[in-house]
Amino acid sequence: MEVAAQVAIVRGTVTDAASGETLPGVNVVLLTGDGDLVKGAVTDESGVYALSRIARGVYTLRATFVGFDAWEQSILISSDERTIVNIAMETTQSELGEVVVEGDRRDGIVKVTAGQTTVLPRDIDLVPSPDVSGDLVNYLTAMPGVVSVGDRGGQLFIRGGEPWQNLVLLDGMWVYQPFHVLGFFSAFPSDIISSVDIYAGGFPSQFGGRLSSVMDVRSRNGNKRSFEGSASIAPFITGFTLEGPIDTNGRVSFLTSYRESVIEQGASRLVDDDLPYSFGDFYGKIHALPSQNSQLSISLLTTHDEGAVFEGTAAEPAEEVEWKNTAAGVRYTVLPNVLPAMAQFGISVSKLESDQSVGTSNARSTEIQSVNSNADITYFNGDTTVRWGIFARSLRAESSLGGLFQNVELREEFLTEVGAYVEPEWEVRGGWDIRLGLRAHSFPSKSVSFLEPRLRLVRTGLVNEISLAAGVYHQEIVGLLDRRDAAGVFTAWAAVPDGFSVPSSLHVIAGYQRTLSEALELGIEVYGKELRNLFIPEWTAFPRFTTNLQEADGEVIGGDFRLNYQKGPFGVFVTYGLSRTRYTAQQESLPIWFGTDELEFRPAHDRRHQINVVSRLDTRLANFSTRWQFGSGLPFNQAQGFDGFVLLDGNVDVTTAPGSRRVIFDEPFGGELPTYHRLDVSAERSVQLTGHGLLTLQAGVINIYDRSNLFFLDVFTQNRVDQIPIIPNFGLKLEFQ
């Protein structure tokens, strides 16, 4: 009887009673009649909780979440029972501007567990941005270990990894190039975000196919009770959101968001400078609750970007880029009545089309399209949770590179990937939580398979937390790019070229968090990444951006330091990232050129020091926020000068042989660009309008002390392109309900 009673389970979904939105991160506990804790859980990204291995009896089920009234209900558990209790939480009726102090937040800059950070919209909105609504990318660049090449280009390097090594998911859909050409914006405005899990490394078995990091973005659901919307305008971008119920039973809702840049009409005029960028995005989602124990969502994302990364000079043509993302997907989540488990099924289609033109010719293009399907099962059994799943992916990649990589023949390629993973998680004595995973995946057409062990250990105490993570990763679909300077944007997607090994990485992370006082938190994480079989352009003194690829290995070590202070209406967080990235390349000619078999160098994204200071002060007048960011200089190839090369291989007539121009490079990546720093400030005030309207006014200044931060330095012509100068911005957002 006792054994049978141990398999009873209580599960359900927690929602906001006002909007019907599912709530992740809610604490759900089961208490005895005396108030003693029996079991506890936190709702996952779908708002689902599960409390298993419960003995029969009468209990109190209690749910608590910041901003909501505590929810309680008495429940009777019979033996071997699988009970579903859905919880609808009521919003706390507090005055506008009241500060809620929360003791057990799962988000926030300091809350980093084995490389994983959870970001909520309220975190994003802390960081000043040139729009009334926040954008995920501004928060990302405030994180230590995330290196951005600057205001333009839309490229992020995470803990030494290159942009093509980052996996970006939106509701399970792969998004290949999600960051807009202007660095303040991504495809993820905070208006559509429910939560984001960022794994800067050591990501669990559920994720794969990338070497460096995972950004798992989950959108919120539309309001199932009433219609809401907003419209905003600012010097860079304008947009609107609209959401509401589709049916009368409060079971189906929609959410749409549309944004379009207005730089030509706005920001360009403010700075009296041509900012040749244009971009936009559309997101739409339908969310439904078909039954008491299931959820269904359909999502669509489209983005478009175009602009001149390098505007050209008399000597060199402009470099223009253009890309479009399209992603559509369906997800179905169910809590089976007969099993103590949760299952999620998804299928999605993702596509990226990207072009680069240099002057009027030499156009390059790439297109990648994939169909991803997956089934993820979470099985609850007391202190053990087992996650397992299967996935299949078919992919088409096509590139036309115009001679960019001379030893790579790219064509239309079709690939299929299949695989499975299993990752049990145990809560053991001493407060340790252990996740041991194994991911197996195979590309049958290329006859390659990989086994990837993963490990995550977390020990949570009252005031501190220790975490460790490790894992092995492979990436068969790679991004090829000419990265002799960090400003390169165009990435050609392809299967690993014939004759090359599949890139792989090994991550090791150790972290420590401590709550120093009620107001002060500290987080430290150290990490190492070993990268194998990367592709880099061969070293050459020809002044060209067409070259051969070669293999290289990489090594990244670093540490992230985070400090968060929150007292009353004032909060500040400081992050410091220390990192060292080294690539080691072998090239046949190295012994002749440099007297060594290997060339060790700093890649163009090796930013050694990075500091962010973000503060916020809430007053009756307005909410003020500031952000100061600092980055030490990036390495670049410095030259000693330019001359010409004539191949003298015999009786050469130098009056008829034209020869070639040549760069006399100094030591590879031996130069260092100037430091980068900038201060942004913003003030925001919301005014309740009569009826159901809320008007938010924002004023701010980007780069308030007008620092000339270098974006692009053309070694050949000494032409310098700076990042965005001082720009005042004013935004207006009208919300209605």
Q: Which of 32, 292, 501, 589 binds other proteins (CB under 8 A)?
A: 589
Considering beta carbons, is residue 644 or 691 the nearer one to other proteins?
644
Site string for other proteins, 445-474 (x = CB under 8 A): ------------------------------
- The residue among 628, 644, 622 whose CA lies nearest residue 695 is 622
Between 96 and 315, CB nearer to other proteins: 315
Give the Cα separation of 173 and 175 in Å (integer): 6
From the CB of 75, what's the least distance to other proteins, in Å? 49
Residue 592 beta carbon to other proteins: minimum distance, rounded to whole angstroms: 5
| CA 32 – CA 60 distance, rounded (Å) | 6
Reported as type and span, the H/E element at residue 123 is helix 121-124
C-alpha dist (Å) from residue 586 to 84, 239, 503:
60, 49, 15
How far apart are CB 588 and other proteins at their closest, in Å?
A: 8
Taking CB under 8 A as the criterion, the residue among 249, 447, 690, 718 binding other proteins is 718
- Pick from 347, 622, 639, 732 the residue near other proteins by CB under 8 A: 639
Q: Number of C-alpha atoms within 13 angstroms, CB side, residue 583? A: 27
Candidates 654, 687, 690, 691: give the one binding other proteins (CB under 8 A): 654
595 touching other proteins, by CB under 8 A: no
Q: What is the per-residue DSSP string for 206-253?
A: T--S-SSEEEEEEEPPPPSSS-EEEEEE-SSEEEEEEEEESSSSS-EE
Residue 658, C-beta contacts closer than 8 angstroms, at least 6 positions apart: none
Which range of residues in 249-257, 446-454, 632-640, 682-690 is near other proteins by CB under 8 A? 632-640
Cβ of residue 627: shortest distance to other proteins, in angstroms?
A: 10
Please tell me the distance from the alpha carbon of residue 275 to that of residue 182, in angstroms, as a whole number.
Answer: 9
Give just the sign of the alpha carbon dihedral 162, 107, 438, 393.
negative
Q: Kindly state the smallest distance separating residue 658's Cβ from other proteins, in Å.
A: 4
What's the closest the beta carbon of residue 569 comes to other proteins, in angstroms? 11
Residue 78 interacts with other proteins (CB under 8 A)?
A: no
| Minimum distance of other proteins from residue 716's CB (angstroms) | 4
- Signed CA dihedral, 35, 39, 40, 43: sign only: negative
Question: What element of type H or E holds 122?
Answer: helix 121-124
* Nearer to other proteins (CB atom), residue 414 or residue 705: 705
Q: Which of 47, 21, 85 is nearest to 245 (CA)?
A: 21
Give 457 or 522: the residue with its C-beta nearer to other proteins: 522
Position 621 contacts other proteins (CB under 8 A): no
Instruction: Pick between residue 451 and residue 657 the one whose CB is nearest to other proteins.
Output: 657
Tokens of 250: 């409060």
- Total chain residues near other proteins (CB under 8 A): 63
Q: For 388, phi and psi rounded to 5 degrees?
A: -145, 165
Task: Figure out which of the listed residues 426, 716, 730, 736 binds other proteins, where binding follows CB under 8 A.
Answer: 716
Q: Count of alpha carbons within 13 Å of 390, Cβ hemisphere only?
A: 1
Q: Counting contacts by CB under 8 A, is residue 431 touching other proteins?
A: no
Among the listed ranges 37-45, 208-216, 345-353, 707-715, the one in contact with other proteins (CB under 8 A) is 707-715
- Closest by Cα among 523, 620, 614, 613 to 569: 620
Of 181-189, 246-254, 468-476, 656-664, the window that binds other proteins (rule: CB under 8 A) is 656-664
Using CB under 8 A as the binding rule, whether residue 486 contacts other proteins is answered as no
Q: Which residues in 274-333 contact other proteins (CB under 8 A)?
A: 315
* 414 alpha-carbon distance from chain centroid: 27
- Euclidean distance between CA atoms 356 and 18, whole angstroms: 47
Q: Is there a contact between 352 and 367 (Cβ–Cβ < 8 Å)? A: yes
Q: How far is the CB of 720 from other proteins (least distance, A)?
A: 8
551 lies in the site for other proteins, by CB under 8 A: no
* Residue with smaller CB distance to other proteins, 688 or 717: 717
Q: Which is nearer to other proteins, 377 or 681 (CB)?
A: 681
**How far is CA 156 from each of CA 73, 147, 625, rounded to the nearest angstrom?**
46, 6, 24
CB of 272 or CB of 649, closer to other proteins: 649
Is 264 one of the binding residues for other proteins (CB under 8 A)?
no
Rounded CA-CA distance 715/565 in Å is 43
Among 100, 647, 687, 690, binds other proteins (CB under 8 A): 647
Smaller CB distance to other proteins: residue 220 or 483?
A: 483
d(CA 615, CA 114): 25
Q: Is 407 in the site for other proteins (CB under 8 A)?
A: no
Whichever of 199 and 712 has its CB closer to other proteins, that residue is: 712
Residue 380: which residues within 8 A CB-CB, separation 6 or more? 9, 11, 50, 52, 340, 341, 342
CA distance linking residue 43 with residue 294, whole number of Å: 15
For other proteins, the closer of residues 462 and 647 by Cβ is 647
Rounded-to-integer distance, Cα 166 and Cα 156, Å: 9
User: Quick check: 395 and 417 in contact, CB under 8 A?
Assistant: yes
Answer for which of 659, 688, 692, 693 binds other proteins (CB under 8 A) is 659
Among 74, 516, 597, 661, which residue interacts with other proteins (rule: CB under 8 A)?
661
| Minimum distance of other proteins from residue 300's CB (angstroms) | 43
Query: How deeply is 720 buried, as exposed, middle or buried, from its count of CB atoms within 10 A (0-12, 13-18, 19+)?
Result: exposed
Q: For the chain, state the CA radius of gyration.
A: 27
| Stretch near other proteins under the rule CB under 8 A, chosen from 87-95, 163-171, 411-419, 672-680 | 672-680
CB 282, CB 258: distance < 8 Å: yes
The span from the CA of 599 to the CA of 595, in Å, is 10
Minimum CB separation of residue 258 from other proteins in Å reads 37
Q: Would you say 608 and 576 are in contact if contact means Cβ atoms under 8 Å apart?
A: no
x/- letters, 505..544, toward other proteins (CB under 8 A): ----------------------------------xxxxx-
Supply the minimum distance, in Å, between the C-beta of residue 113 and other proteins.
28
Instruction: Map residues 675-704 to x or -, x wherever contact with other proteins holds by CB under 8 A.
Output: x-x-x-------------------------
**φ/ψ of residue 150, rounded to 5:** 135, -160
User: Which of 674, 689, 692, 693 contacts other proteins by CB under 8 A?
Assistant: 674
> Which of residues 4, 451, 516, 664 is near other proteins by CB under 8 A?
664
Q: Which of 35, 430, 499, 658 binds other proteins (CB under 8 A)?
A: 658
Q: Which of 14, 156, 713, 727 binds other proteins (CB under 8 A)?
A: 713
Does the footprint of other proteins cover residue 643 (CB under 8 A)? yes
Please choose, from the candidates 319, 283, 324, the residue with its C-alpha nearest in 3D space to the C-alpha of residue 301: 283
- In the complex, the residues that contact other proteins under the rule CB under 8 A are 315, 539-543, 548, 570, 572, 589, 592-593, 613, 615, 617, 628, 630, 636, 638-651, 653-655, 657-666, 671, 673-675, 677, 679, 705-708, 710, 713-718, 720
